[in-house]
Amino acid sequence: MARIPYVLVDVFAPAPGAGNRVAVVLDARGMSPEEMRAVAQSLGTAEAAFLLERTGLALSVRFFTPGGRWSSPGTPPWPWASPRPAPA
């Protein structure tokens, strides 16, 4: 697998190392859902965000857990994100 740039972010936390650690893949353009799932599994975090497209200030983001794509229509895992439900 190619090197994939990512950062670890502690969300819902007042300090680094607290809260919920998630991985953010900085450029997931061209990655298949299967590749995203495999990367999410290998990163060792509860969830991972994959940044796909940027239009102005808006980002297209897909969320995965180690088990697969996160597509809950409820509250997103991060307060600044509004993921679209997974296609049927």
Residue 44 makes CB contacts below 8 A (sequence gap 6+) with none
* Structure-token pair, residue 67: 């088990």
Does 84 or 21 have the greater pLDDT score?
21
Indicate which CATH number applies to the domain containing 40: 3.10.310.10
pLDDT at 22: 87
In-domain check, residue 87 = no
* Structure-token pair, residue 2: 């190619």
Compute and round to an integer the Cα radius of gyration of the chain: 13
**pLDDT tens for residues 26-75?**
999 999 999 999 999 998 888 899 999 888 888 888 988 887 787 654 44
Say yes or no to pLDDT of 24 above 80. yes
In-domain check, residue 77 = no
Residue 64 neighbours by CB distance under 10 Å: 24
> How many CA atoms within 13 Å lie on the side-chain side of 23?
22
Q: Which domain holds residue 12?
A: 6-69
pLDDT at 53: 87
- The total number of structural domains that make up the chain: 1
**pTM beyond 0.85, yes or no:** no
In-domain check, residue 80 = no
In-domain check, residue 82 = no
